[in-house]
Amino acid sequence: MNDLSASLPPETGRRGKTQPMRWARGNGIRGDKTIRFTFDGRVLEAHPGDTLASALLANGVRLVGRSFKYHRPRGILSAGPEEPNALVELREGAQREPNSRATVTEVFDGLAATSQNRWPTLKHDMLGANSLLAPVFSAGFYYKTFMWPASFWEKVYEPIIRRAAGLGRAADEADPDHYEKATAFCDVLVVGSGPAGLAAARAAAGAGARVILCEQDSLTGGRLRAERVMLDDRPGWAWAQDTEKYLRALPEVRIMTRTCVFGRYDGGCFGALERVADHVAVPQAGQPRQRLWRIVAGQCILATGGIERPIVFPDNDRPGIMLAGAVRSYVNRFGVVPGRQAVIYTNNDDGLRAAADLHDAGVRVAAIVDSRQPSSTAAQAMARQVGAALFAGGAIAGTTGHTGLKAVQVRDSAGKTRRLACDLLAVSGGWNPDIALATHHRTHPVYDDALNAFVVSSPAPGLHLAGFAAGALTTDAALAQGDALGRAAAQGAGSDPATGCAMVLPRAAEKEGYAIAPLWHALGRAGQAGKAFIDFQNDVTAKDVSLAAREGFWAVEHLKRYTTLGMATDQGKTANVNALAMMAWERGRSIAQTGTTIVRPPVQPCAIGALAGTHRGRHFKPHRLPPTHDWAVEAGCVLTSNGIWQRAQWYPRPDETSWQETVNREVRSVRSSVGFCDVTTLGKIDIQGADAATLLERVYVNAWRKLPVGRARYGLMLREDGFAFDDGTTARLAENHYVMTTTTANAGAVMRHLEFCHQCLWPGLDVRFISVTDAWAQIAVAGPRSRDVLREIIDESFDLSNEAFGYMGAANVRLRDGVGGRLFRLSFSGELAYEIAVPARYGDALARLLMRVGAPYGITPYGTEALGVMRIEKGHPAGPELNGQTTAHDLGMGRMLSRKKDFIGRAMAQRTALCDAARPTLIGLKPLHASDALVAGAHLLPRGAPADAASDQGWISSSAWSPTVESWIALGFLSHGPQRHGEVIAVHNPLAGTVIEAQVVPPVFVDPEGSRLHA
Amino acid sequence: MPDILSPCAPIAAEPCRVGALSLAPAPLEEMVSISSFSNSLPALREAVLHALGASLPPAPGTATRQQGLSILWIGPNQWLACAPQGSGLMEKLQVACGAHAALTDQTDGRVTLTLCGPYAHAIAAKLVPIDLHPRCFGLSSVALTQAGHIPVILMQRDRQPAYDFIVFRSLARSLHHDILAAMRGGIPESEQN
Amino acid sequence: MRIHCPYCCTRGVEEFTYRGDATVRRPDLDAPEAAWVDYVYLRDNPAGPHAEYWYHAAGCHSWLVVRRDTRTHEIFSVQTASEVSEA
């Protein structure tokens, strides 16, 4: 052992006890202010501007979590969103959020963070013994182990695996935070605010474009904050700050920090997530925690930079092993040194910069292990500059230190291994351009041999890559490229090329070098000894990739599924390329030949709550409220959803003990005296024009031309395939003026259908439609005393007698106080009944008036349930009968089909099979024992037949207890139904396993002659 | 003495305020939809101008507004005329252009919710997925779109800015809730550069 | 996807309702059954340019004929259906 193996230098405590590793101020830190947070209950100090990762490092905390499968102690690998290891739980209770990356979590006063996937404590994790089970956790372990006996899987193996392997715990309660969505538009969207992004935004804005600049970080500047680049003799981060300030002052530029553009979609749409209040203890009242943006952009410049690759070597996952670029970020931006004695391991010149930055921060750099042979002149110069030993052509063969790095084994080019004490190993395996957004939408990346990385060579139209994302290796190149593309994008989005003036670009003091030499499998098979991790988050090792190759899962998509490589929160950002290279090596092929998987949105995790926005709980969908809603609620109704309409289901009285009792009373009241029900929800379409009747003829199966003014008629619509679509009544108000009603459920679909018929099929027809559903409060007043009640309301001059205003009459009327309305003599209940329509603003008052003037008759408001019972008693088809599978013939309306005209569905309705008498046809059913409940969905079988599909002859569509008949009754469809009235059949309910005997009857249970209707 | 039916609005008239932003239902207006019959457009334009002293807006996505009267484009060959209560709008239109267009009373079918105050456009951008930049959507611009899941006719009433959300009456309360939630969510920081 | 409505300008796809093939023509009533089956049921499923009906449900209620590439969602043209029918 030589002198380099000397023990670590003692703590020097530069800035007092609390943040021993804070060496300087850092360009992104407000060092004048101290805040407190806790990690696993320990109170620690930090400064505004810190991430949880930088704050933990400042306090000398290196062990942050335990790994997914093996519970290996893990620290902080990166300084950005690609972090695979440092996942923690944030906050507590309902706001607990697992799997949060410490590297992008901003520390605030009072933040509570806890480590996860450990028991009982992070340092003494009992499940660390999982490492001993490593053979069963190898690639494909899900598929290979625990397969037998099958019954053990759910009860034994899975719970054990779930406890042992895993990440954080989700909150058990509903998320109490708010989320919202917003849309933004721009000519040019710039993603990323490093040198390329800032230059692009500045140039695009200068050329007259509306610009949105999105930065996922809390500060702009990108790598300018992580490096010590000097631009025009000033620190690069200062130029970034000035440029941001300049851009903010421009009216057409919008800078969105803490906003991650997570997806690229077609039509120039991007998804972005803004972390509005994640960096504060409690959002202000009403303020969302996160805001989901849809950004619509004419052109987009991706200046997303790059992600550094780790190097695969044995035990490369110990806390204290960190990406070299991340080391620089902690040193320069956060003023934190992640260790006191460092070794650098790199295959490129960029990694060397960590040596200089650490050295200047007072960290001893013991050695530079440069895999290149010969090493670059830059490496030699750096080793001299920082006083480090240089191992050209060297490799790291192993590491020690259980909960934190203590030493590395360096193998020199001659193959000799020696131990070097260090608590920080900065590694750089080169950089991958961050091209995730460019590859959304099935753009395939290609491998660039010079850059040793995947790039996008032909981005989608309107998309441009700038800076390192496009392979630009120097700050000057990034600035120039961003500037040129910013101008080009502005022109591409329609800006005048003459607009704007050229701006002077700053120049970097030095030209950064890269000089990468590939390093994918430095030690060959030997490098797979111990655990050489490729995917830290999923604990996938080099051995797992080799195993997958041997077992035939060598295609990239198979490799991913077989080993779980590239899954979970980091999606393999630091792992994928190393794994592909390893697979290529195993197969003796090039990386280009091996290929890569493509990625889907989101590029960073996105909370489901943010995708839902404000549409959750009761506001998941909007509610439509009928005009009598407030009155009905006051009257104590129970509400039900009818589509998005909220309707009164029934109106219980205090003495009633069940809804059935309530509904029975409501039905009896209507049948014996009078009741009323808000039917505003039925679709109402105003139809006008010289060809209005022609259109009705074409959309309804029956005839309309001869319908007199002042009359209404029932109509049935088919779809073009001959099956029933919708029904309702349409009234003729004037020569060329009709008002159509539709079912509540189909109101929108019928409007769309009418518009289709008019615009696509018969554009020559002179007819106009508009919805008037909301304009009128329409109330059904039904029962033998309904006329008496209406006499109290309608102006005396209007003759309500049966002779003057008979069944299916329609008229404009005036109420006694002068309000104008419409009166229809329509009946869904089969009783003498009217529907009265008044302008919606009077609906509430009309309900109250009906209660008052109807009191002497015992008027009863009724809800949708009683409405349903009465329509079943009368055999009126509704939703369950018009289910899209029934024809006019099935509904017993075959004879309505006009033979004198063309109408939608006529040709197809005539098909032999659709007119077959054997088709199940509408019938009524009554159980032999009145109290035997009939259930919708039950199957109809011949009496005594086995309950199997071969005997199935139909089904029940609607059923109810009829207080009028005092029996259960049902509507259903039965093969040869109309010929079988009187027959007793079996009703089989396979869910309950019951068979009930019932008699087939005509589908009208009450007043079959219709004398009540016409009274 | 007959019972008098008193009108009832779905949204209380009292404005809801969040900071300097306010949301309130506009006073009830007479509203009539005008839908031109085939080959009647020139005659209709003339008749409307004659009857109301205002023209149908010349282009889609616009409105003409003068002295309390507004005429909004609401579809191809279709407009929505709005006038204060008591204007007798329907009667005037019927006399002048009953032969040229389908006229339908929409007074009760729609409710107007007005959002106004500084950065009202930033609140509206949380609701409607259309570009509200003054170059695209200025004073008296009209768009038929959806606020969240709710269909609306949107009009910029004032440069202040103030927006009218004209919504089906039955959906007014849901929309009111959604706009208020957007107001409480605050003005995005990036709007306030 | 974003569709350029001839009346309302470009809007998000969520404002539109899809119907399908806009190249089919409704046969006469007395056309052979095969023609009707073709009209009602049989559809090509081209990977590439296609003409489709879209309805601007949340906007101006216009039925549109949108010509687009089903593989890329690139839209070549948008016309109103009535204009296409009358042509």
Hey, how many other C-beta atoms are within 10 angstroms of the C-beta on A52?
28
Q: CA of C60: which chain A residue's CA is closest?
A: A755
Matching CATH number, B16-26+109-186, of 3.30.1360.120, 3.30.413.10, 3.50.30.50, 1.10.3720.10: 3.30.1360.120
Quick check: C29 and A761 CB within 8 A? no
Matching CATH number, A683-771, of 3.30.70.1400, 3.40.50.920, 1.20.1250.20, 1.10.645.10: 3.30.70.1400
Tell me the shortest Cα–Cα distance from A911 to chain C, in angstroms.
8
Residue of A132 and A695 predicted with greater confidence: A695
* Cβ contacts of A269 on chain C, cutoff 8 Å: 2, 12
Confirm if B93 and B51 have CB atoms less than 8 A apart.
yes
Residue A510 neighbours by CB under 8 Å, 6+ apart: A230
Query: Measured between alpha carbons, how far is A666 from A681 in angstroms, rounded to an integer?
Result: 20
Say yes or no to pLDDT of A691 above 50.
yes
Nearest-by-Cβ selection for C60 from B75, B129, B146: B75
Q: CA of C22: which chain A residue's CA is closest?
A: A760
Residue A113 tokens, joined? 């963070």
The domain limits of chain A are 1-15+310-429, 34-174, 179-306+434-492, 518-589, 629-681+775-870, 683-771, 917-1001
Find the distance separating the first CA and the last CA of chain C, reported in whole Å.
27
Query: Measured between alpha carbons, how far is A485 from B122 in angstroms, rounded to an integer?
Result: 29
Q: What is the Cβ-side half-sphere exposure of residue A791, based on CA atoms within 13 angstroms?
A: 9
pLDDT of residue A164: 54
Cα Rg of chain C, angstroms? 14
Q: CA of B78: which chain C residue's CA is closest?
A: C60
Tell me the shortest Cα–Cα distance from A179 to chain B, in angstroms.
8
Say yes or no to pLDDT of A836 above 60.
yes
Quick check: A180 and B185 CB within 8 A? yes
Residue C40 tokens, joined? 């009602």
> Quick check: is C78 in a domain?
yes
pLDDT of residue A117: 75
By DSSP bridging, strand A833-839 and strand A939-942 are: unpaired
Exposed/middle/buried for B114, CB within 10 Å: 0-12, 13-18, 19+? buried
Confirm if A448 and A454 have CB atoms less than 8 A apart.
yes
Say yes or no to pLDDT of C24 above 50.
yes
Which residues of chain B does CATH 3.30.70.1520 include? 29-105
Poorest-pLDDT segment among A330-334, B20-24, C69-73 = C69-73
Beta strands in A868-966 (DSSP E): 920-927, 939-942, 954-962
Mean pLDDT of A731-755: 97
Mean pLDDT of A593-614: 92
Say yes or no to pLDDT of A80 above 80.
yes
pLDDT of residue A134: 64
Residue to mutate among B8, B103, B179, with most A CBs inside 10 A, is B8
Using one digit for the tens of pLDDT, what is the confidence trace for A895-935?
Answer: 999 999 999 999 999 999 998 989 999 999 999 999 999 99
> Quick check: is C24 in a domain?
no
- Residue C75, domain extent: 2-19+30-86
pLDDT of residue A9: 41
* Cβ contacts of B28 on chain A, cutoff 8 Å: 841
Q: What is residue A508's DSSP assignment?
A: B
What CATH code would you report for A917-1001?
2.40.30.110
Query: Measured between alpha carbons, how far is B67 from B84 in angstroms, rounded to an integer?
Result: 10
Quick check: B3 and A852 CB within 8 A? yes
Residue A965 neighbours by CB under 8 Å, 6+ apart: A873, A926, A930, A1005, A1006
Q: Which of residues 149-168 of B touch C (CB under 8 A)?
A: 151
Mean pLDDT of A521-529: 76
* Cβ contacts of C63 on chain B, cutoff 8 Å: none
All partners of chain C with 3 or more CB pairs under 8 angstroms: A, B
| Confidence bin at A131 (pLDDT 50/70/90) | low
Residue of A154 and A946 predicted with greater confidence: A946
pLDDT of residue B2: 52
Using one digit for the tens of pLDDT, what is the confidence trace for A356-372?
Answer: 999 999 999 999 999 99
| Confidence bin at A169 (pLDDT 50/70/90) | confident
| Confidence bin at A159 (pLDDT 50/70/90) | low
Q: Which of residues 5-64 of B touch C (CB under 8 A)?
A: 60-61
Residue of B92 and A149 predicted with greater confidence: B92
Matching CATH number, A518-589, of 3.20.20.80, 1.10.10.1100, 3.40.50.1860, 1.20.1630.10: 1.10.10.1100
Whether ipTM exceeds 0.95: yes
Q: Does B127 touch chain C (CB under 8 A)?
A: no
Q: Does B146 touch chain C (CB under 8 A)?
A: yes
Give the residue among A381, A322, A373, A615 at the shortest CA–CA distance from A510. Answer: A381
pLDDT of residue A442: 83
Residue to mutate among B80, B130, B168, with most C CBs inside 10 A, is B130
Residue to mutate among C1, C11, C79, with most B CBs inside 10 A, is C11
Tell me the shortest Cα–Cα distance from C17 to chain A, in angstroms.
9
Mean pLDDT of A274-292: 94
Say yes or no to pLDDT of A154 above 80.
no
Using one digit for the tens of pLDDT, what is the confidence trace for B32-58?
Answer: 999 999 999 999 999 999 999 999 999
pLDDT of residue A524: 78
Buried-exposed string B160-177: b where 16+ CB fall within 10 A, e elsewhere: ebbbbbbbbbbbbbbbbb
DSSP codes joined into one string, A848-887:
HHHHHHHGGGT-EE--HHHHHHHHHHHT---TTTSSSS-B
Mean pLDDT of A21-44: 94
Residue A842 tokens, joined? 């009077």
By DSSP bridging, strand A35-39 and strand A112-115 are: parallel
A34-174 against A518-589: fold identical: no
Tell me the shortest Cα–Cα distance from C77 to chain A, in angstroms.
14
Matching CATH number, B29-105, of 3.40.50.10490, 3.40.50.970, 3.30.70.1520, 3.40.50.720: 3.30.70.1520
Q: What is the Cβ-side half-sphere exposure of residue A410, based on CA atoms within 13 angstroms?
A: 30
Tell me the shortest Cα–Cα distance from B146 to chain C, in angstroms.
6
Tell me the shortest Cα–Cα distance from C30 to chain A, in angstroms.
8
Q: CATH number of the domain that C14 lies in?
A: 3.30.2270.10
Q: E strand or H helix at A183, and its extent? A: strand A179-191
Residue to mutate among C30, C62, C82, with most A CBs inside 10 A, is C82
Say yes or no to pLDDT of B18 above 70.
yes
Nearest-by-Cβ selection for C40 from A268, A720, A764: A720
* Cβ contacts of B61 on chain C, cutoff 8 Å: 7-9
Mean pLDDT score across all residues of chain A: 93
Q: Is the peptide bond before A877 cis (omega within 30 degrees of 0)?
A: no
For chain A, the 3-state helix, strand and coil shares in percent, each to the nearest 5, are 25, 25, 45
| Confidence bin at A143 (pLDDT 50/70/90) | low
Poorest-pLDDT segment among A138-152, A637-651, C46-60 = A138-152
By DSSP bridging, strand A87-90 and strand A112-115 are: antiparallel
Query: Measured between alpha carbons, how far is A107 from B19 in angstroms, rounded to an integer?
Result: 29
Query: Measured between alpha carbons, how far is A972 from B126 in angstroms, rounded to an integer?
Result: 48
Which CATH class name applies to A179-306+434-492? alpha beta
Say yes or no to pLDDT of A216 above 90.
yes
* Cβ contacts of B112 on chain A, cutoff 8 Å: none
Which residues of chain B does CATH 3.30.1360.120 include? 16-26+109-186
Quick check: C60 and B129 CB within 8 A? no
All partners of chain A with 3 or more CB pairs under 8 angstroms: B, C
CATH superfamily for domain A629-681+775-870: Probable tRNA modification gtpase trme; domain 1 (3.30.1360.120)
> Quick check: is C25 in a domain?
no
Using one digit for the tens of pLDDT, what is the confidence trace for A851-860?
Answer: 999 999 999 9
Say yes or no to pLDDT of C25 above 70.
yes
CATH architecture entry for A1-15+310-429: 3-Layer(bba) Sandwich (3.50)
| Confidence bin at B193 (pLDDT 50/70/90) | low
pLDDT of residue A10: 41
Residue B44 neighbours by CB under 8 Å, 6+ apart: B34, B36, B37, B56, B97, B100, B101
Say yes or no to pLDDT of A842 above 80.
yes
By DSSP bridging, strand A321-323 and strand A424-428 are: parallel
Query: Measured between alpha carbons, how far is A997 from A986 in angstroms, rounded to an integer?
Result: 5
Tally of domains in chain C: 1
| Confidence bin at A190 (pLDDT 50/70/90) | very high
Q: What is the largest CA-CA distance in chain B?
A: 63
DSSP codes joined into one string, A529-580:
SS--EEETTTTEEHHHHHHHHHTT--SHHHHHHHHTTT-TTTTTTTTHHHHH
